[in-house]
Amino acid sequence: MTLSRDLLRQLQSQSPALAWATIFKHAWDVCAAPFGGARPESDVVRRDREVADLDLFLATAGWDLWGSYESSVPRTSDALAHWWTTRGSGRAILILDGLSLREIPWILSQAEARGFVVHEARATGAELPAETTPFAKAMGFAQRSALGANGAGAGHRLPGARTEVSNLPWEDCSRFIGAEPDWLFWHDWPDRDVHDFADAGEGLRLLIQKASDQLQSESFWRLVERLAEGRRLVLTSDHGYAASELFPDAGADHAEYLKRTYKSRRWSDSSQERAAMVPPIDLSMQTHHGHYLFVNGRRKWRSAGGYPTLTHGGLSVLEVAVPFIELSKKGGA
């Protein structure tokens, strides 16, 4: 599928802020629709390929939009800080590390089935690079691990929050949640599986199966219910991920440069300039977190050990767009 003529005209004629809003809304609409059958794998892959049309536009005719990303896209860190400060006590945030727009249908359908009210559901933007530590720093934490055992201190953007980070099973995580009115809980799933399955050859298929199990499990929703007891809850993520097994191979004239510059990653802190090509295969950008080189769009290449089937940190829509879903129990906060 290619972008419709009307959508393409919008993207080419709008201001950067409106173009990014259009991109994020289109990606959300593609990914958030209920799954059509008992096997969601084919739906997820089809939707991933549909979003690829946005990536093709951004990598070619619209690549200059990336220069306005940080000034135009509502970033998750800012959205969380604003939400926190504009609500009274009785707030909770659940960060699922690496959750992407692909997983939205399970969350929305299960929320409805389990008696939650969805107050807001939209896409917000990751930091650049789309990695964990830049997001943690944007929230005022030195790193993700600082949240453990309420060790985050008082200098962050969520004043009064009790903080915790964990990689334990959901049922064990539920036991962490006490009666404190304000909570931030960060779990390392699904990013843990993104990295575990990256070398499996069928990374996306395995991850979809695991996501289906996890996001429909009683233990996961007990954690959500525990966080939502007397609180309004936002479920979100620090970054998404790329299903790079679906990416086309870079041409021979590009592959050696990409391998040398990025090895098996999608971004680099190298101080060198980007390749002199138009349209560019990578972009040199000064971000809020420093100067980096980023692979532009969907490309993979041969690398030592094989290019990972799942990765993040580059410039593609499903790496930088993440869910921002505000929930409460019916009759609750």
Measure CA 87 to chain center: 24
> Where do we find the tokens 């799954």?
35
Average pLDDT for 69-87: 98
Q: State yes or no: pLDDT of 1 exceeds 60.
A: no
Nearest alpha-carbon partner for 175 in 219, 118, 119: 219
- Is residue 38 very low, low, confident or very high in pLDDT (cuts 50, 70, 90)? confident
Mean pLDDT of 67-78: 98
Averaged pLDDT, 291-311: 93
Name the more confident of 253 and 20.
20
Least confident of 63-67, 87-91, 260-264, 276-280: 276-280
pLDDT over threshold 70, residue 28: yes
Averaged pLDDT, 102-121? 98
Mean pLDDT along residues 80-94: 97
How high is the pLDDT of residue 305?
Answer: 79
pLDDT band at 200 (very low <50, low <70, confident <90, very high): low
Provide the pLDDT for residue 64.
96
Residue 330 has pLDDT above 90, yes or no: no
The predicted pLDDT at position 270 comes to 79
pLDDT of residue 253: 85
- Cross-strand bridge partners of residue 300: 249
Q: Looking at residue 66, what is its pLDDT?
A: 98
| Tens digit of each residue's pLDDT (9 = 90 or more) over 142-198 | 999 999 999 998 899 999 999 999 999 999 999 999 999 999 999 999 999 999 999
Q: Provide the token pair at 196.
A: 């575990």
- Cα–Cα distance measured from residue 29 to residue 332, given in angstroms and rounded to the nearest whole number: 28
pLDDT on residue 185: 98
Residues in the chain: 333
Report CA-CA distances (Å) from 173 to 94, 158, 188, 249: 11, 21, 12, 41
